[in-house]
Amino acid sequence: MNTVTVYSTPTCHFCHMAKDFFVEKGVVFEDFDVSSDLTKRKEMLDKSGQMGVPVIIIKDQIVVGFNKPKIMELLGIKE
């Protein structure tokens, strides 16, 4: 099973799109709200160098934003 981590905020439209996609495809993921969890915010910055969300980590690969084609590729999902 793939380990999927999502760093997001409650007001981020693309974060919601990514999480909805994962739910629709049956992908189990761990979600961290970096607007309130300062430790996870620092972790996200250390891993990605990015302040924008979502930051999605799949198989140790970092995807910044809701890049659906890249996410599908990393998860091995076909359209």
Q: What is the pLDDT of residues 31-76, one digit of tens each?
A: 999 999 999 999 999 999 999 999 999 989 999 999 999 999 999 9
Quick one: pLDDT at residue 43?
97
- pLDDT at site 79: 77
Report all structural domains of the chain as residue ranges with CATH numbers, in order of start.
4-75 (3.40.30.10)
What does the pLDDT read at residue 1?
56
- Which residue has better confidence, 11 or 3? 11
Torsion, Cα 59 43 41 53, to 10 degrees, reads -30
Q: What is the mean pLDDT of residues 7-26?
A: 97
Q: Would you say 21 and 71 are in contact if contact means Cβ atoms under 8 Å apart? A: yes
Q: How far is CA 29 from CA 52, 59, in A?
A: 19, 12
pLDDT score, position 61? 96
Instruction: Tell me how far CA of residue 8 lies from CA of 1, 15, 79, in angstroms.
Output: 22, 6, 25
